[in-house]
Structure 1
Amino acid sequence: MKTTRLNIQKIRKDFPILNRKVNGEPLVYLDNAATSQTPKQVIDAIVDYYSNYNANIHRGVHALSQEATDKYEEARHTIQQHFNAEKAQEIIFTSGTTDAINLVANGFTEFLEEGDEILVSAMEHHSNIVPLQMLSERTGALLKVIPMNIEGELLMDQYDALLSKNTKLVFCNHISNALGTINPIEQIIRKAHKVGAAVLIDGAQAAPHVKADVQELDVDFYTVSAHKMCGPTGVGVLYGKEDWLNKLPPYQGGGEMIAEVTFEKTTYAGLPHKFEAGTPNICGGIAFGAALDYMNAIGFEAIAAYEHEILEYATQKLLEIDNLKIYGTAKNKTSVISFNVEGIHPYDIGSILDKLGIAVRTGHHCAQPVMDFYKVPGTVRASFCFYNTKEEVDVLVKGLKRAVAMLK
């Protein structure tokens, strides 16, 4: 098997948490699809902010405020460049992907009416389904589902059949959090635009693995969360085309998102401040920029190649375990493996693995429709990052064999 040249041991030294023990065993962290770990370079950026220039931004004339403002806006430019947005004002800071999706769904209340249609893929996270259900209930627009096959791939011929002049919004994740499937968003976007529909892509699971170029994709909206990209929790971004962001009404009212306020009328600020009410997660935004700098220094092509190598190795080793079934076998997928062992509840496996210091996720992964499709209550999910190793895969397999022997 080909070996990708990343200095993994050097990289692992950047992550302090990887040195700890859990239940007396070295931590093997395989829950990266839920949240990734944070390198010391990002931790240092957080400490630096609170130690040296903690102040509110945009409004202050004093030195600390100006320094914090400069660092925060520099982070916005870093994010703009990373995703190749045309303008920095197309990058809206949010509290995360869920907040960004709700921002768009709330705004589309202005544009939908009864008889309109919203398309959503069958493999969505609850955070993607529920805001669109609320939008449907508010407007009378019909929510339709793009089905998938047993391999966990969207049925694109069915997508073609669902598209019509009534389609106003198409929603799809770039990568499935439950299955690891990389969806053909280029085709999805292109075909939606042919019928005049806008497209919102959830990039939360994709952004740690691939570098999305929003201009090349021609996507209308793209969302990410920092905590899945070696950054802090509680911060993310919504990319939106300037024309769309200008049309959308503000999601929340408050300070910073206004130009002028009287008791008779309020005039809203321009982009991006129109959607950034209140004091933002200043430190989080700055740290997000630091996280992107860290990952780009490693290189996303190298990250993707190494993680694919880990995926192939882990898949091969896991399938050597009797009665183990993997859910999500798409030809194009990233480093996520959802599986069950026949006759054993995933929670029980996860609990024993935890006693061995191995962190995996068990349950429906906030994707109950996916579990219903496979007729299972949930799965064990091992999700890998560029700091994981083949030796950790071996520890996982050994732990699984032990768990199976105890539970069967």
Structure 2
Amino acid sequence: MRIAPQGAPRARTLAAATRKWRRSGVVILLAMLGLMALAIEAAAQVPVPGKGSSRARKPGEQLEAAQYPVFEFHSGFWNNLHHVLYEQARIREQRPLARPETPNQRAGTLPKLSAGLPGPGEVLTAEEARAWGEAVDYYVRTLGNRDLLFDSDMTILKNRLVEMANCGDLSGRSGAGCASGLKAELVAALESAAGVYRARWWNEHDRANRAWIAAATPLVQEHGTLLAEQLARVYQSEWPTKRIRVDVCVYAGVHGGYTTLDPLHITISSGDVRNQGAAALEVLFHEASHDLAEGVRNALLREYRQRSKPVRRELWDAILFYTTTEFVKQAISREGTAGRKRAEQEAYWDRHRLTARGWQNFQRALDRHWKPYLEAVMLGSAGPDDIERALARVVEAL
């Protein structure tokens, strides 16, 4: 999955990342269940003034060390509607909905993650059909061909809709705080579609989001402390000290999820088959790793430039995926993991190996040069410069 900063890139290098790792801030997870329960309970099924998917918190609020790592889950109406309309526009235009699972498979031939709306046999009233059709038309004309992550306007729109979670409208009719400031034509499209979405599909989508959160929560409770510790050690960084906001939507782009920084904000699809079961644990910590591993990205860019090689930007994401997957695989394979059958484990790793994501060219280099570094970190024998040496060898081998 991919990542882009919301604001100006932060200057973070591997040298800066060698600041002292605060073990006490990573290894204790005492308040996870209570905090997650609060976030889930705060998610209203229908946003009306004073009720919504997000409980209020002060800007920049931080948690005590005993509460790491904390993912604050949300299922928000406006953000879900936005992503559904984006998906429906791409369906109409026959644009890819998911990244190919094999290198030679065209994205356009993949099964749709969700069907067009309305579904087969579902009949809308004339007014509903007009309102929904006009909203999809607007997204086809203006947003369906844009990138959810790398287009800064799409990031701004997503952020604003998240902020409007407690509002029943976006034009300010229900109060000055609900005047979104978005383009009038966009507001009209979203508000027009909102009535249809509430009446027809929102309850089902919200239930799916809540079910995904309920399934992911015990996995994070059981394994999150150790995973946060391991990833912080690998990247010579600190686990984020603030709550990590995770917005769960029925659709979240071609990769099934994406992450923006400043602040760290994860969007994950509850309907994507790649995010189910043990993969929920991987996707959460993989996405959160982007906040830890900017130094890795900078080091890779330096290595490519020093060798006058074309930059392969997807290598950074492949390394984060590879690293998180290695540790998640260890975590769920340990004896005593409740309800985890070996057949389920094997099926998960078969689906999520690098070759299944078009990164097969990186597999050998990472196995040979990056995995030994991971093992040295876990044994406590890795030196402060070993991460840069490992990255240099990976780039040289490709």
TM range (shorter): 0.3 to 0.5
| Higher fraction of strand | 1
TM-score, with structure 1 as normaliser: 0.33
More helix by proportion, 1 or 2?
Answer: 2
* TM-score normalised by length of structure 2: 0.34
